[in-house]
Each structure stands twice: as structure tokens, then as C-alpha cells.
Amino acid sequence: MRQITQLIIHCSASAWGNAAVIRDWHVNGNGWDDIGYHYVIPNGRTAARADYDPAWDGIDHRRVALSVEGAHARGQNHDSIGICLIGEGDGLFTPRQITTLTGLVDVMCTAFQVPPTRVFGHRDYDRGKSCPGFDVAAWVRGG
Ligand SMILES: [Zn+2]
């Protein structure tokens, strides 16, 4: 197992999707070997014209083995786990997504002994991005 020292949270910057959709964007759109994130947390809308489906709201969906380096934050992939919320940030995530994210962050921090101060948003590393659309450090401090 590689050493994990940080978690990095992202958003899909789309109103809909799931891990299979993002994998398609990364593999067929970007030409990557696999999806770049370790986890995707959908919001209940898996396709552009799909109705809201609670079965797809807030589930956690691991796609890539944690031992495999992801492709989600330049220069930070070797020692991080990438978690993507479907949505566009600024309060657009569902309560279930946030509940799932909270649980997942807790579990990962415990499993890999990552302190809460090492949970970041993508924009903390790339100031040109808004991803994930909220202040992750403040969110972590707030519980
Ligand atoms: Zn991102």
C-alpha cells in the first residue's frame, strides 16, 4: 500500500453523473487508463434527463483501488485519496452527499492516520479552480 497523507475533495462541476459517467469522461474523453478519483458520491441524478433517484443519492462508490495512485490533483496524487461529489458546489450538494462525505472522511482519516488538517479541497492546490465549490478546511472544522 502506498502511503496516504491527505484527502482531496472535488466536485464534478456537472449537475448529474456517477462513477461510470465520470469514468467515461476520463477514459474516453481524456484518454486516461481509468477514472481519476477513488470515490464518487452521486446526487441522485445520473444522467442529464434522468429523474431524481434516491437510490443514487449519497451512495459512496469506490472505483479505483486505494493502492492505485489517482489522477485528480497535479503534484498531489502520489500520497492522496481523491473524492468527487457530483454537483457544482455552493450548497448544491444534497444532505445525503454531505452525510456520506463526512462518514467517508472520518473512515479514511482513521484508517490512514490522516489528521483533519490534511483534508483539502482541490482549489487549495490550484487557485485557478473553484473545485469543490466550498471551503473544505472550514467544513472540516465545523464538523
Ligand atoms: Zn477538482
Q: Answer yes or no: is pLDDT of 143 > 70.
A: no
- Provide the whole-model pTM: 0.94
Tell me how far the alpha carbon of residue 136 lies from the centroid of ligand 1, in angstroms. Answer: 12
Tell me how far the alpha carbon of residue 111 lies from the centroid of ligand 1, in angstroms. Answer: 23
Q: Where are the domains of the chain?
A: 6-141
Q: CA distances (Å), 30 to each of 25, 108, 123, 133, in order?
A: 7, 28, 21, 23
Tell me how far the alpha carbon of residue 83 lies from the centroid of ligand 1, in angstroms. Answer: 9
Q: Answer yes or no: is pLDDT of 102 > 90.
A: yes
Tell me how far the alpha carbon of residue 51 lies from the centroid of ligand 1, in angstroms. Answer: 26
Superfamily of domain 6-141: Peptidoglycan recognition protein-like (3.40.80.10)
pLDDT in tens, 121-135: 999 999 899 999 999
Tell me how far the alpha carbon of residue 109 lies from the centroid of ligand 1, in angstroms. Answer: 20
Burial 105-134 (b: 16+ CB within 10 A, else e): beebbeebebeeebbbbbbbbeeebbbbbb
Residue-by-residue DSSP string for 61-110: EE-S-TTS--SSSTTTGGGEEEEEESB-STT-S-HHHHHHHHHHHHHHHH
Mean pLDDT of 93-111: 96
pLDDT in tens, 9-36: 999 999 999 999 999 999 999 999 999 9
